[in-house]
Amino acid sequence: MNAKELVALAEEFGCPLYVYDAAKIESQYLRLTAAFSKVERVRINYAVKALSNVAILQLIKKIGANIDTVSIQEVQLGLHAGFQPHQIIYTPNGVSFEEIEAAAMLGVQINIDNLSILEHFGTKHPKVPVCIRINPHVMAGGNTNISVGHIDSKFGISIHQMPHILRIVENTGMHINGIHMHTGSDILDIEVFLYAAEILFEAAHHFKTLDFLDFGSGFKVPYHKGDIETNIEEFGKKLTKRFNSFEKEYGKPLTLAFEPGKFLVSEAGFFLAKVNVVKQTTSTVFASIDSGFNHLIRPMLYGSQHFIENISNPKGKERFYSVVGYICETDTFANNRRISEIKEGDILCFRNAGAYCYEMSSNYNSRYKPAEVLWIDGKGILIRQRETFEDLLKNQIALD
Ligand SMILES: *Cc1c(COP(=O)(O)O)cnc(C)c1O
């Protein structure tokens, strides 16, 4: 999408605003499936937690992907968007037995990541097929908040506990139809990923009834021109070769599954905000926008550096700015950033705003959550209204 189109959407729908480019989501999906075109059975499960708007889920369905969910509510959203239960995998962490049972009763594929629930579930529902989430203990990913495969991680059942897993499976007679790993986000080193995959292959040999192997996600996407990213094409080539040879060893058809969130939607998203104030201080120039970490918390939460462009003046002379929000505590999007000259009223565009952005927004400071627009076939359609004062009061009960 270009600056002109984005400015027009900001004018039509107001700021702050999230915009998602449908064509980019589709092209990322096609890139991933092309990388694995030599694998006979591939399933891409989009990780709903990245961006869960129902219109986005409908688009994902139309493109041909399935979904990965982490809560019963995400399962319900998926069903609401038109997915069949068998197109949904449910991969929670630390949720109650009752919630896992409820998801299984809805007919979705469940994925269990701890021994106590595995034993309880296998005892009570030995016929329901279950996937097991393994922790291969591979340190992957650049950020400890989003790296989930290492030894101290709360995710998955340790690969070292395989004897205990096998005992539970044998004792309960439960049906294990898949094994899964998800080692974290921002994986750059393909070799590390392939090493973790070997651990999963080895684990797979312990089970005779598998239908699929799920390699999770965590592909790194670029945040600015020239930024590093996971080389999906090379990764596809290498894993395809290994997967196809493993399938022969295993002696039964297997599906190769992934569950990308960021990879599919991150770059498709644009966050648009208007500059309220340009303030010169003794040390810097602040550009204060009509938003804050209530709408985009990733820079404050884990130091994400979203590329920021002044789309009202894209060709202007560049100057250094600190871009800040209106929340009444430290609320910084970027420090000392080179941006083309900003005037009050200009629209700033934040890139990579598709994944974990709207999704993590809140009403802090009693602000409304932004509207969301889908850019499709050359026009913008509203897929979520901006909140209103009624939304802030909804569910509150005032004293008489
Ligand atoms: C969050 C999550 C994903 C998606 O991770 P990305 O880095 O956004 O691709 C995939 N699988 C599971 C189980 C997750 O929790």
185 CA from centroid of ligand 1 (Å): 7
The yes-or-no verdict on residue 344 having pLDDT over 70 is: yes
148 — pLDDT class (breaks 50, 70, 90): low
Choose which residue among 75, 108, 157, 217 to substitute to test ligand 1 binding: the one with the highest number of ligand atoms within 8 A of its C-beta: 217
C-alpha separations of 306 from 21, 261, 266, 394 in Å: 17, 17, 11, 33
Q: Which of 33, 108, 87 is nearest to 260 (CA)?
A: 33
Given pLDDT bands bounded at 50, 70 and 90, which one contains residue 273?
very high
Of 25, 45, 49, 89, best ligand 1 pocket probe by most atoms within 8 Å of the beta carbon:
49
Which of 251, 256, 346, 359 minimizes the C-alpha distance to 298? 359
Strands 66-69, 42-47: parallel, antiparallel or unpaired by DSSP?
parallel
Encoded tokens for 258: 């992934």
Q: What is the pLDDT, as a whole number, of residue 350?
A: 98
Give the residue from 19, 15, 18 showing the smallest Cα distance to 345. Answer: 15
Ligand 1 in reach of 260 Cβ (< 6 A)? yes
Q: Quick one: tokens of 129? A: 């097929």
* Strands annotated E in 208-360: 212-214, 255-258, 269-280, 285-289, 308-310, 318-324, 332-340, 347-350
The greatest distance separating any two alpha carbons of the chain, rounded to the nearest whole angstrom, comes to 71
Q: Is the pLDDT of residue 141 over 60?
A: no
State the Cα–Cα distance between residues 236 and 190, nearest whole angstrom.
10
% of the chain exceeding 70 in pLDDT: 96
pTM confidence score:
0.95
Distances in whole angstroms, Cα of residue 286 to Cα of each of 116, 273, 333, 347: 52, 15, 11, 15
Q: CA 162, CA 134: separation in Å to the nearest integer?
A: 9
Question: Is pLDDT of 63 > 90?
Answer: yes
Q: What is the mean pLDDT of residues 279-289?
A: 96
- Residue 169 Cα to ligand 1 midpoint, Å, equals 26
Strand partners, 269: 20
CA atoms within 13 A on the CB side of 39: 30
- Round to whole Å and give the CA distance between 288 and 240: 48
- Looking at this protein, which amino acid is placed at residue 270? F
65 has pLDDT over 60:
yes
pLDDT band at 186 (very low <50, low <70, confident <90, very high): low
DSSP letters spanning 106-147: TTPEEEE-SHHHHHHHHHH-TTS-EEEEEE-----SS-TTTB
Ligand 1 centroid to residue 234 C-alpha, Å:
21
The answer to whether residue 15 is catalytic is no
pLDDT digits (tens, 9 = 90+) for 167-178: 999 999 999 999
Per-residue exposure over 227-259, b if at least 16 CB sit within 10 Å of its own CB, e if not: eeebebeebbebbbeebeebbeebeeebbbbbb
Q: How far apart are CA 345 and CA 81, in angstroms?
A: 37
d(CA 262, CA 264): 5
Give yes or no for residue 94 having a pLDDT over 80: yes
Q: How many helices (H) and strands (E) does the chain have?
A: 12, 18
Mean pLDDT taken over the chain: 95
| pLDDT-based confidence at residue 193 (cuts at 50, 70, 90) | confident
Q: What is the mean pLDDT of residues 360-385?
A: 98
Residue 126 has pLDDT above 80, yes or no: yes
Candidates 45, 155, 185, 264: which one to mutate for ligand 1, based on the most atoms within 8 Å of Cβ? 185
Q: How confident is the model at residue 149 (pLDDT cuts 50, 70, 90)?
A: low
Q: How far is CA 255 from CA 35, 53, 79, in A?
A: 15, 28, 23
Closest residue by Cα to residue 352 from 7, 12, 3, 24: 24
Ligand 1 contact, 263 CB (< 6 A): yes
15, 131, 328, 357: the active-site residue: 328
Phi, then psi, of 128 in degrees rounded to 5: -75, 125
Q: How far apart are CA 353 and CA 351, in angstroms?
A: 5
- Ligand 1 atom, smallest distance to 259 CA: 10
| Number of residues written out for the chain | 400
Whether the CB of 49 sits within 6 Å of ligand 1: yes
State residue 140's pLDDT score.
56
Residue 68 in tokens: 């990965």
Predicted confidence (pLDDT) per residue in 206-226, tens digit: 999 999 999 999 889 999 888
Query: How open is the CA angle 380-385-389, to the nearest 5 degrees?
Result: 150
SS3 87: helix
Q: Which residues pair with 272 in a beta bridge?
A: 17, 349
The number of the ligand 1 atom at minimal distance from the alpha carbon of 146 is 7
Q: Give the 3-state secondary structure of residue 251.
A: coil
Average pLDDT value for residue range 117-129: 98
- How much distance in Å is there from the Cα of 88 to the middle of ligand 1? 14
What's the gap in Å between 282 CA and the centre of ligand 1? 43
352 has pLDDT over 70: yes
CA–CA gap between residue 334 and residue 354 (Å, rounded): 18
- pLDDT, residue 378, reads 95
pLDDT for the residue numbered 185 = 61
SS percent in the chain: helix, strand, coil, step 5: 35, 25, 40
